[in-house]
Amino acid sequence: MEAQESGEHKYVYDFAEGNKELKDLLGGKGANLAEMTNLGLPVPPGFTITTEACKAYLTTGREPDGLAGQIEAHLESLEREMGRRLGEPDDPLLVSVRSGAKFSMPGMMETVLNVGLNDRSVIGLSAQAGGNDRFAWDSYRRLIQMFGKTVCEVPGEEFEHALDEIKSAKGTHNDLDLDADDLRGLVDAYKKIFAKHTGREFPQEPREQLDLAIRAVFDSWNAERAVLYRRQERIPADLGTAVNVVAMVFGNLGPDSGTGVAFTRDPGSGAQGIYGDYLANAQGEDVVAGIRNTVPLQELEQLDKTSYDQLLGIMARLEEHYKDLCDIEFTIERGKLWMLQTRVGKRTAAAAFVIAGQLVDEGLIDLDEALHRVNGAQLAQLMFPRFQLDHEFEPVAKGIGASPGAASGKVVFTSARAVELAAEGEAVILVRRETNPDDLNGMIAAQGILTSRGGKTSHAAVVARGMGKTCVSGADELEVNVPAKKFTVGGHVVNEGDVVSIDGTTGKVYLGEVPVMPSEVVQYFEGELDPETIDDALVRAVHRIMTHADAARRLRVRTNADTGADAARARRFGAEGIGLCRTEHMFLGDRRELVERLILASGEREREDALAALLPLQRADFIEIFREMDGLPVTVRLIDPPLHEFLPPLEQLAVNVAVAQERGEDVAKEEALLAAVRRMHEENPMLGLRGVRLGLVIPGLFAMQVRAIAEAAVAVVRDGGTACPEIMVPLVGAVQELETVRAEAERIIAEVVGDSGVEVLIGTMIEVPRAALTAGQIAEAAEFFSFGTNDLTQMGWGFSRDDVEGAFFWRYLELGIFGISPFESIDTDGVGRLIRIAAEEGRAARPGLKLGVCGEHGGDPDSVHFFHSVGLDYVSCSPFRVPVARLEAGRAAITTAGSDSR
């Protein structure tokens, strides 16, 4: 238009000029209004001021050059189209001013309706509506209320209060009982409130109303609530918001008018049908504000069949066009339907899968697209056990679902009490106003954590997620009284010891114990439900999409498992091998005694005896695992933790010795243990004598493990099975360490394996930064690398995981130093760079070097995409994460560069 002809930047787009792909520039609402306009749907005319105009305004503090003129030009063309001028006394054009960013965001400025009304045009509006005074004054009072609240920050309650007063003077609760005179009186009251709070009269100049409202939308981008929300949802802070100016249509003109909202399918379950609410004789937000009872959308058929049929037709059209579930807002003005908004609707995890499956059936999307539409976080949600809810259980409060899962237990208010009761075998729920680092032990002991304050990045939420513990945060209906050991909610008093149930997915809190049931998706993965025969849309959809993901993915998925039972379950969940079998648990329980003997051995002979006793035990463990994973690779990590972890704690030993001495008992062994523990004490055990260092310092230890692995493999093969062991050396930082271990291991393997046909690979973890940086050298001695991303993150950042998550991560998240804990999702810039270097240099030195990852990141959706992009061969994760990794590996493979994977 004019703007472009004169070569100045274009800041304003008519609805006819935009389309749904322009969300960055026009915001979601504007882009979709344009799309509907171009589809020929009945959208009131209007225009969109771009996010660029907003950004320019926010950086310079004033509207950019040319914006005012462009608004003027577009307003004029809108006025021509409508045959009315903004706020003209006799026959006014009214508009709404609506914010709309790329992502919908609570906390942004709400919409101002009826802009253009003033003391004179209110009379004209009434005439326009055939002398409907009530309607005109109702519209005017709404303008003052919305404008006052959202543009001039007048406290909303004051308006509410004045409205309530008039209603109670009339003896009614229903706003429809107020007549024109009442509403005129209300306008006067509202104007006084406005003047009192702003120190000026309500602006009568329509264009000034418009400009102030636009500016307020811009400013609301930086409102506290919006900033907080963006940080939580990791929405970039510099997107800005667009502003939509839309000709008003009126749902409050009488019983033949109204307003409503609808979904094209059930956003809860994905089921097809008609889901919506309608409210006759109402405007805008009335329908969701709960001021009057809405009716189900189906009833519109009786009220206005023509509009109803037209609406269903449009909804079908929108679904076909967007190829997805849409939600819509509409208004009917005296029997004429108007579309006011649409967008691809939010949905639950279950609905996401079901709808994707349905759309494939309907031929609207293909399986690649279906796979793109769901994600691992949703799948993980569907795998949590859930509460079996029937009518008996009504939530008493709803907070933020901060860490998913379902937990029931006795309420406790202090960390100490949580630890006490848990030690007695009780399930407990730790309830606090908010948690702090002192609550850590209580959080570990508890089944779940419930707080009345704080959001998704609060201490409680961050720590609970890190521990995989159910957490509901910010349940602000709870009055928590820690000294009195009780909380109150909605008239109930809950004392210490009473049972509550919390749902970390929905944020709901229940009194009493709600029974828990396994999710049907897990039953399916367990092989208990047959997707071919079961009449369950969710299971069928999950099956279909998983099958496609498996076909699409390049990354293999293995599991971390130390026992035959874990290995078996992971295999049912689709694991294609074991990426990390920790051997340390094989030194626990009644085997501790042998470890003690090993540590206390005074000579070669005693040490060899202890190792010889351990050998058959380890061999039996490996045989069990190799059998379960028959034919699939099993990576066994040689012992990693410092040996003193297998001894009793220092204090306990010291007490034992003292007590025994007092009694005059023989304490030789305790004293020896105590001396050993003192001798082995390390200031910083994570960086001390562990991993490969142990193997190099304690003669025979690794040799025994290697022998057990090789002998187990041979035993399995002799029984007709197939064993594919891979021996993994932990904590290597220099190739010389690995070479030393390797030389001995190769000798033993050759001796044990003989001509059995068993092949044993030898490789290393890459978890010390130096290993990553000298990967080219290390690859000379390794047939595979497995990235230990937990340690690599600890050592890469210099974070002691056990300490930092509870101590200060919440603060780092609050400050935005990182958007998510680097232990949850791989830090691609730093730790990821180490991985990239090691992968490239390792493969350069040894083509065909097998690369995998066995940290917890292996089951994290974003991290899986990163590992795919670096070209790893597999990820390995806990059994329950295996399906998530399979799905995300499939998504990574089909996600073309640059497309949005969220």
Nearest approach, Cβ of residue 342 and ligand ADP (Å): 10
Residues 777-836 that bind Mg ion (CB under 5 A): 788, 791
Element (H, E) at 380: helix 376-383
Q: How many CB atoms lie within 10 A of CB 27?
A: 31
Residue 509's nearest CA partner among 470, 456, 458 is 470
98 touches ligand ADP by CB under 6 A: yes
Considering only 267, 284, 796, 852, the residue that binds ligand ADP (CB under 6 A) is: 284
213 binds, among ligand ADP, Mg ion, none (CB under 5 to 8 A by kind): none
Q: How many residues does the chain have?
A: 902
138 touches Mg ion by CB under 5 A: no
856 touches Mg ion by CB under 5 A: no
Residue 624's nearest CA partner among 579, 586, 584, 587 is 586
Nearest approach, Cβ of residue 463 and ligand ADP (Å): 34
34 touches ligand ADP by CB under 6 A: no
Considering only 32, 37, 48, 111, the residue that binds ligand ADP (CB under 6 A) is: 111
How far, in Å, CA of 370 to CA of 835, rounded?
Answer: 31
44 binds, among Mg ion, ligand ADP, none (CB under 5 to 8 A by kind): ligand ADP
Q: Which stretch binds Mg ion (CB under 5 A): 5-13, 338-346, 406-414, 823-831?
A: 338-346
The dihedral formed by the CA atoms of 348, 354, 355 and 359, expressed in degrees to the nearest 10? 170
285 touches ligand ADP by CB under 6 A: yes
Residue nearest to Mg ion (CB): 791
246 touches ligand ADP by CB under 6 A: yes
Among candidate residues 581, 724, 854, 877, the one labeled active-site is 854
788 binds, among ligand ADP, Mg ion, none (CB under 5 to 8 A by kind): Mg ion
Residues that bind Mg ion (rule: CB under 5 A) add up to a total of 5
Q: Return the structure tokens found at 669.
A: 């062994």
852 touches Mg ion by CB under 5 A: no
Nearest approach, Cβ of residue 138 and ligand ADP (Å): 13
Residue 765's nearest CA partner among 731, 802, 741, 727 is 731
Residue nearer to ligand ADP on the CB measure, 48 or 451: 48
Among candidate residues 372, 459, 857, 868, the one labeled active-site is 459
Residue 875's nearest CA partner among 854, 892, 856 is 854
Active site residue 459: yes
Residue nearer to ligand ADP on the CB measure, 107 or 185: 107
Considering only 150, 252, 341, 618, the residue that binds Mg ion (CB under 5 A) is: 341
Q: Which stretch binds ligand ADP (CB under 6 A): 242-250, 455-463, 522-530, 576-584?
A: 242-250
Residue nearer to Mg ion on the CB measure, 788 or 858: 788
Q: Which stretch binds ligand ADP (CB under 6 A): 110-118, 158-166, 309-317, 452-460?
A: 110-118
How far, in Å, CA of 764 to CA of 771, rounded?
Answer: 10
Residue nearer to ligand ADP on the CB measure, 101 or 354: 101
Q: Return the structure tokens found at 219.
A: 């400013």
Residue nearer to ligand ADP on the CB measure, 261 or 274: 261
Residue 586's nearest CA partner among 634, 640, 628, 633 is 640
Q: Which stretch binds ligand ADP (CB under 6 A): 109-117, 463-471, 597-605, 821-829?
A: 109-117
CA angle 454, 458, 460 (to 5 degrees): 100
Q: Which stretch binds Mg ion (CB under 5 A): 341-349, 365-373, 617-625, 863-871?
A: 341-349
Please report, as a single letter, which amino acid is at residue 899: S
Residue nearer to Mg ion on the CB measure, 259 or 348: 259
Considering only 150, 307, 341, 705, the residue that binds ligand ADP (CB under 6 A) is: 341
209 binds, among Mg ion, ligand ADP, none (CB under 5 to 8 A by kind): none
Given 3-state DSSP classes, what are the helix, strand and coil percentages for the chain, each rounded to the nearest 5?
50, 15, 35
| CA distances to 568, 570, 671 from 561, in Å | 9, 8, 36
410 touches ligand ADP by CB under 6 A: no
Q: How many CB atoms lie within 10 A of CB 830?
A: 15
Residue nearer to ligand ADP on the CB measure, 98 or 102: 98
Residue 782's nearest CA partner among 721, 831, 829, 735 is 735
111 binds, among ligand ADP, Mg ion, none (CB under 5 to 8 A by kind): ligand ADP
E-strand ranges in 293-344 read 295-296, 326-333, 336-344
Residue 379's nearest CA partner among 554, 538, 571 is 538
Q: Which stretch binds Mg ion (CB under 5 A): 336-344, 398-406, 609-617, 821-829?
A: 336-344
Q: Which stretch binds ligand ADP (CB under 6 A): 243-251, 478-486, 495-503, 723-731?
A: 243-251
Element (H, E) at 59: helix 51-60
Q: HSE on the CB side for 805, CA within 13 Å?
A: 23
Please report, as a single letter, which amino acid is at residue 283: Q
96 binds, among ligand ADP, Mg ion, none (CB under 5 to 8 A by kind): ligand ADP
579-601 burial, b for 16+ CB within 10 Å, e for fewer? bbbbbeebbeeebeebbbbbbbb
876 touches Mg ion by CB under 5 A: no
634 touches ligand ADP by CB under 6 A: no
Nearest approach, Cβ of residue 874 and ligand ADP (Å): 45
| CA distances to 213, 728, 749, 854 from 692, in Å | 67, 10, 18, 17
286 touches Mg ion by CB under 5 A: no
Residue nearer to ligand ADP on the CB measure, 340 or 549: 340
Considering only 27, 28, 30, 44, the residue that binds ligand ADP (CB under 6 A) is: 44
How far, in Å, CA of 306 to CA of 42, rounded?
Answer: 14
Nearest approach, Cβ of residue 244 and ligand ADP (Å): 7
539 touches ligand ADP by CB under 6 A: no
Residue nearer to Mg ion on the CB measure, 182 or 856: 856
783 touches ligand ADP by CB under 6 A: no
Active site residue 724: no
Residues 307-336 that bind ligand ADP (CB under 6 A): 329, 331
Considering only 32, 51, 96, 583, the residue that binds ligand ADP (CB under 6 A) is: 96
Pairing of strands 448-451, 428-432: parallel
Residue nearer to Mg ion on the CB measure, 51 or 111: 111
791 binds, among ligand ADP, Mg ion, none (CB under 5 to 8 A by kind): Mg ion
Considering only 43, 162, 210, 249, the residue that binds ligand ADP (CB under 6 A) is: 249
Surface-to-core class of residue 849, CB atoms within 10 Å of its CB (0-12 exposed, 13-18 middle, 19+ buried): buried
Binding flags for Mg ion, 738-767, as an x/- string (CB under 5 A): -----------------------------x
- Strand, coil or helix: 263: strand
Phi and psi based region of residue 279 (left: phi greater than 0; alpha: psi -120 to 50; beta: remaining): beta
CA-based end-to-end distance of the chain = 36
Residue 809's nearest CA partner among 382, 465, 443, 372 is 465
- Give pairs for 865-869: CB < 8 Å, separation 24+: 865/891, 865/892, 865/895, 865/901, 866/826, 866/828, 866/832, 867/555, 867/826, 867/835, 868/554, 868/555, 868/892, 868/893
Interaction site with Mg ion (CB under 5 A): 329, 341, 767, 788, 791
Report the catalytic residues.
459, 854
Interaction site with ligand ADP (CB under 6 A): 44, 96, 98, 110-111, 113, 246-249, 284-285, 329, 331, 340-341
